[in-house]
Structure 1
Amino acid sequence: MGVSVDTALVDALLKSAPRPEKAERAAEPAAPVQVRRGSKTVSDWANEARAAAKSAKTLDALADAIRAFDGSPLKAACEQAVVFDGVPGSSLMVIGEGPGAEEDRRGLPFVGKAGQLLDKMLAAIGRSRTDNTFITNVNYWRPQGNRNPEADELAVCRPFVDRMIELVQPKLIIAAGGVPAVSLLASKDGIMKLRGNEYAYSTPDGFKAPMIPILHPAYLLRRPQDKSRAWRDLMLIEKRLTELS
């Protein structure tokens, strides 16, 4: 890709980030998928989400609409919706998979162990959630057992995701991990084929921005041998942000 890999810096980032503990993940059995009550279908709920999202004129109004939305079967088992963090109007937007246990407790995305590594990765290219980055997810409620969100759970959140992109108007979007990358790009390829490439993303209302998928920080904590791929992706992101500014 024409960029050099500072392996020493990446080593430092990965070594300084806390590792996920297998015992902690194994202690919580996966709960059965929650079933929505009532006669509404997934399509009904998606339409309701679309109407609520479209009526939101600000990010705060959109956050309120998400918290009030009852169309996700995950909501009943969660402490709260995890909507966004960071600086509205930032040129860089990070979209992850969804909240874990720590995010559910605190109500903010990417604040667990993977989030701590994400912060270090962003810092390596001069970015932070306190200054110039906006962070959200494709799913706002934690799946029990830390499983991946189901297709219908992503579908009812998608109108809110697109509306959030339209309100933030980023110059570049990072899809952090396979779930957001495959979902947002409607791709049949996995994250290993998608990562490190730029794709044109467009919302239903016509807002367009380039999207670059990367490996999820949680994956890098489990497989530090892929750190060079992560660094190349960060260098591409930094380069594109400079060109787009």
Structure 2
Amino acid sequence: MSAPRLSELQRTWLEEIGLDRHMLARLSAIPAAGSPVAEPAPRTTPAMPARGDADSAPSKAATDSGGPADAMKVVAQRAAKRQPQAAPAGPVQSLAQPAGPLPQNWDALAAHVASCKRCGLHEARGQVVFGAGAPQAPDWLVIGEAPGDHDDRAGQPFQGKAGALLRAMLAAAGLGAEASVYFTNLVKCRPLGNRPPSAQEIEACMPALSRQIALLRPARLLLLGRLAAQTLLGTRDELDALRGRVHSYRSEAGQDIPSLVTYHPASLLLRPQHKLDAWRDLNLMRNLH
């Protein structure tokens, strides 16, 4: 059976939900002009997605439909339906609402974000999830990807099982309930299906996040997952290459903020084998002053 032909958009989306490049090389092909499609190597059930919301994973029907190539076809078709337009590689050219000047104080910024319509996420959101925690010079600013279903209902970030695990992780690093921590995400509205936010959605939200960081003036950043790390650090390096060392984020206020990278807790719920590596990250976090 020949491998399904996937577009570049579909390959990118599949990588974002956790199918690594080696798996895609075996299970799919984007042939050059005139070249044949490669036969896939034998493979078991596709890898679980990196993000922890169960409805972002391929369904059992997809993985049981006859083989890896069939499963990939189903996932690719769903990816195309969920994200029919390719995310732009450069700056966003068309948004639902112009950027405009951002407020210079905290309360006005929160109100501005609450009425934001710069991307399509506003059409289906329950509540804008601006952030929660210590709003003045916290010791740590924790940044994830996007609100999930529980967050959307509560209007607070990191609710549900992923939030409980995150707080347990922070407690293990010496940051208990009374610690000076603020929590937020790259985007402030939940993507339907708890999928990862697209490049356009992140681009639309970044001015508000940058202003949020500048007003907070945190001592340190903890970046959860690949998207948060790549966006804030301005790199395309993979998560494993970014973990285990201290980075620096330059805020729009000119502050150089030490930054660490680790797994998103939702990813650890699906891939508990990474908890040992996450524990090493927490030890580095404990020693960062």
- Shorter-chain TM range is 0.7 to 0.9
| TM-score of the aligned structures, taking structure 2 as reference length | 0.67
Point out the structure with the larger helix share: 1
Pairing 1:196-211 to 2, within 5 Å after superposition? 196-211=244-259
* Aligned counterpart, 2:110: 63
Residue aligned with 1:154, SS: helix
Q: Structure 1: 5+ residue runs without aligned partners?
A: 1-19, 36-40
Residue 230 of structure 2 corresponds to residue 176 of structure 1: no
Pairing 1:124-135 to 2, within 5 Å after superposition? 124-128=172-176, 130-135=178-183
Residue 92 of structure 2 corresponds to residue 42 of structure 1: yes
**1:22, distance to aligned residue in structure 2 (A):** 4.6
Question: Is the 2:140–2:221 contact (alpha carbons within 8 Å) kept by the matching residues of 1?
Answer: yes
CA distance in 1, matches of 2:55, 2:83: 23
CA distance in 1, matches of 2:250, 2:146: 21
* Gap change, CA 1:129 and 1:86, over 3 Å in 2: farther
Identity, in percent, stands at 37
CA distance in 2, matches of 1:192, 1:74: 30
* Aligned counterpart, 2:143: 95
Q: What root-mean-square deviation, in Å, do the aligned CA atoms of Structure 1 and Structure 2 show? A: 2.7
Q: Structure 1 stretch 195-204 or stretch 105-114: which is displaced more?
A: 195-204
CA distance in 2, matches of 1:130, 1:72: 35
Q: Which of 1 and 2 has higher RCO (CA within 8 Å, sep 6+)? A: 1
CA distance in 2, matches of 1:91, 1:203: 15
Q: How many matched pairs?
A: 213
Residue aligned with 2:157, SS: coil
* Gap change, CA 1:130 and 1:124, over 3 Å in 2: same
Q: 1:79 aligns with which of 99, 109, 126?
A: 126
**1:24, distance to aligned residue in structure 2 (A):** 9.4
Question: Is the 1:46–1:159 contact (alpha carbons within 8 Å) kept by the matching residues of 2?
Answer: no
Q: 1:155 aligns with which of 194, 203, 206?
A: 203
* Aligned counterpart, 1:217: 265
The AA in structure 2 aligned to 1:132 is S
Task: Specify the structure having the higher radius of gyration (Cα).
Answer: 2
